[in-house]
Amino acid sequence: MTAPHVAPYGTWKSPIDSNAIVTDAIRLSAIALDGNDIYWLEGRPTERGRSVLVRRTPDGETSDVTPPPFNVRTRVHEYGGGAFLVADGTIYFANFDDQRLYRHAPGTEPQALVPEHACRFAELVLDRTRDRLICVCEDHNPSNTEPINSLVAIDLATGAIAPLATGCDFYASPCLSPDGTRLAWIEWNHPAMPWDATRLQVAKIEDNGSLGPATCVAGSDERAAVCHPKWSPDGSLFFVSDRSNWWNLYRYTDGRTELLYELDAEFAYPHWVFGLSLYDFISAEQLLCTYTQNGKWHLARLNLLTRHLLRVDLPYTDLGSLHVANDRAVFIAGAPDMPTAAVLLNLGTGERSTLKQATSLVIDPGYLSVPEAIAFPTTDGETAHAWYYPPSNRDFTAPAGERPPLLVNSHGGPTAATAPTFSLKLQYWTSRGFAVLDVNYRGSTGYGRAYRERLQGRWGIVDLDDCAAGADSLVERGLADPNRLAIAGGSAGGYTTLAVLTFRDTFKAGCSRYGVSDLAILATETHKFESRYLDGLVGRYPEDKDIYTARSPLFHADRLSCPVIFFQGLEDKVVPPNQAELMVAALRDRGIPVAYIAFAGEQHGFRRAETIKRAIDGEFYFYSRIFGFEPADEIEPVEILNLG
């Protein structure tokens, strides 16, 4: 093996280019079992982001189930999830373009199940006894002050929609008891988010199909986020609650609630999307569950008789969409050196097989950066968390004494988290000579409710402090060049990016992807699900208008003096384009180097191959011009205003 070439950071030639990221990559978002068949959902950038349901039969053959132009994706809460159900070979799914529900029986074309209307649907449950679907409904009739959410039943013979549970602002996770006589669900009201305070309700299903009086099982007299209800085979109701600070598993039987296993770990994560499944039953005496501890996800068996938790030895650090049937488990999993994959695990033999990987691209480990979990001191005498990825490319080394440029990633949400899983987008940077710091600032999930709540009332303060402190800690360790510190983020991470560039002096450049610049616009123009989110994170609007103004980068653009590049989808309903455009205009008028690239047809989060490619290459090109290095690849230039 030849000695590595000596070349400045940022100029290294990498096999991980933007074509590799989009040409041979899909997004695996859900998996399900139906008899001996396995189904999963693939988001395909090369098909303009279309989500396709794929089936794998017992002989190992895979095939697309939903034909073009159908796009299996719901817009309930705008973030979607829970867009399909498979039962006895028949698929029920929400189609993105018209948001109607369709039924797709084997050997037929998909048929619309409901008439055209303003409703959206998610989390479909088959009520076999009554030949109907039960699901979440979000009614966007223009006459409504805001969309109306409810639980409804849809007659499979007529398509008629009947209300089941109404009156709350939000509903989620409907689930039928094994005998079909009871329905459980989660509900909550403004201004709470589902990770703040929810209620778990149970009601008997009457002879006419309606619901009897509901009983609140958990969440009524305590500030707790209750989530992920499931019925066990013996008719007990299981759920997850953070009443003890950590999202742990509970069981409700005959009017009594009990904690199943106490652990300083999270057996759930925030309800951003529908259709989450993080545990399932092997039998009435044993369940299979996932949990995260110190930033890594694990799989374990929980014996419900002995209360013994046994971790399953697997190479993954990120797990989700777990389902169990007939001694088989399927889930979506990934690790820093393993692409996200749909996985089948035989619970009897322990045999594991990969059904589908998000990419078939094989990368030599010499080009992959292995993350290190770091904790670092931040403001208020507290500690924040992050994953540090050093530059890594077997073919290159930097000149003696040179420190690498650092890209700090600020995740979205902000009530979300970043996990150490395989990402070609991240390795794109490290294999070219950038260090990357993926920050789980205070407010992130995975470290207990108390850590999550440290962002309450302080969004735009502690997240900024933690991103800056993380960068400073790497500079102090000699792992980053203090003159080449960049920060990037999307959505809420875009806000943190713009805010830290405005109100702190740590970073020298930044990238905002569909980020927020005016908090008041976000509070008044965003969709229903997040319309009161800022009540907790910032304050009530307009009562606390002064706080909104004080923390909005747009009103303090005179304090932002470093270059910024913006990427924005023009059909984004979560963070409208004016959030980026107003900030771009302010920086342009002040003579600050700024670039703006807008994408027609894109919503909140980029799904199309050409968009993803342009965004990552454009960001790298931008930094090359700002930090003064020459990329190894030819990249389509980006127009940078005010760049001398």
Distance of CA 31 to the CA centre of its chain: 16
How far is 253 from 164, CA to CA, in rounded Å?
A: 24
Does the predicted model carry a pTM greater than 0.85?
yes
Q: Closest Cα to residue 563, out of 498, 608, 492? A: 498
Domain range 363-627, CATH class: alpha beta
Point out the residues of the chain with pLDDT beneath 50.
Answer: none
Residues in contact with 200: Cβ distance below 8 Å, sequence separation at least 6, in sequence order: 184, 185, 186, 216, 217, 218, 219, 226, 229, 237, 239, 252
pLDDT number for residue 231: 98
pLDDT number for residue 221: 60
Cis peptide before 399 (omega within 30 of 0): no
How far is 33 from 28, CA to CA, in rounded Å?
A: 15
Among positive and negative, which fits the CA dihedral 518, 523, 524, 527? positive
Among positive and negative, which fits the CA dihedral 361, 364, 368, 371? positive
Predicted confidence (pLDDT) per residue in 196-228, tens digit: 999 999 999 999 999 999 999 999 766 799 999
Q: Closest Cα to residue 470, out of 550, 382, 531, 394? A: 382
Cis peptide before 414 (omega within 30 of 0): yes
Q: Closest Cα to residue 387, out of 319, 338, 336, 437? A: 437
Identify the bridge partners of residue 343 per DSSP, sorted by sequence position: 331, 354
Q: Closest Cα to residue 443, out of 423, 421, 458, 422? A: 458
pLDDT number for residue 1: 61
pLDDT number for residue 644: 77
pLDDT number for residue 3: 87
Contact 585, 564 (CB under 8 A): no
Q: Closest Cα to residue 619, out of 559, 565, 561, 580? A: 565
Which residue is associated with the tokens 């159900």? Answer: 85
All structural domains of the chain with their residue ranges: 363-627
pLDDT number for residue 360: 84
